[in-house]
Amino acid sequence: MSEETIEREAVGFIGLGMMGHGIAKNIVENGHPLSVIAHRNRKPVEDLVGRGAVEVTSLGELARQSNVVFLCVTGSPEVEAAVRGPDGLLTNLRPGSVVVDCSSSDPTSTAMLAAELKARGIDFADAPLSRTPKEAWEGTLDTMVGADDAVFARLQPILDTWAAKIVHIGGVGDGHRMKLLNNFISLGYGAIYAEALALAERVGISAERVDSVISGGRMDCGFYQTFMRYTLEGDRDAHKFSLANAFKDLRYLESMANGAGLVNPVGNAVKNSYAAAVAADGAGDYVPMLPAYIDRLNGGKSK
């Protein structure tokens, strides 16, 4: 397939949340025909239509107008509903189309959906994301892609519109497997930071004093910096990844470890830190707010 043909491919986008809105904005601004569908929040749809996208009223209509469909939703249940649901992608996409899941999904579900779509002549790729809504808007996200070589080559010009770092991990499902490993590491940092900050407060060491040691040293990293901006500056939007999504991804990681026959005590400990926060009505709060929930778990009164 020539580059000229790729440029003319019609793209559909499902999931215009904090990450999806920015991704879709970059796709349409780089000249790709784009169809979008509203869910609850109309503002992203109206913004994208103003930039040249076309709004459709059903998944079936979006599928019939698209050759490549991106999903950027919460997780596997939402992806499965969009693919398998009545008037969904499975029954409306033409053979030769591609479905690209940018969500953080369960690799087992990914493999099953890929097989179902392949039986109808439709390819599947997983391209989960790393970084934040700021990079989504700027077109500088990271993505780790699971797809066969031909599908990856076909998608790369579209991925280039919104990602600065594109890594072809391997076959279908490998992108989601790598994403779970990536999030295990980052959310593990978050759990450690949260417990360390709660303990520091208990023994009379302020967050500012902790930061004076960690920031700029060997233990510093980009995740630490965005995590600490909430603690030090009250910047609620510095790291917009919800505790509910963190808990979901760590459950997927646990399932992957179980399937591989791996004992993962650290993964379970990290998962339980987020589980406790979600159980304490913290689902909608963001990862940098975890220290308050660790404090409350230990009898404190912070929120």
- Dihedral sign for Cα 165, 171, 172, 174, please: negative
| Cα-only R_g, the chain | 20
Helix 243-260 vs helix 107-118: crossing angle, to nearest 10: 80
Is residue 301 flagged as an active site residue?
no
Helix 42-50 vs helix 20-29: crossing angle, to nearest 10: 10
Cα 156 to its chain centre, rounded Å, is 18
- Angstrom distance (rounded) from CA 22 to CA 194: 29
Among 38, 90, 81, 80, CA closest to 60: 90
> Six-digit token pair at 182?
């990536």
Listed in sequence order, the residues at least 6 apart from 57 whose beta carbon sits closer than 8 Å to its beta carbon are 37
DSSP letter at 278 equals I
Give me the catalytic one of 25, 134, 165, 179. Answer: 179
- Residues acting as catalytic residues: 179
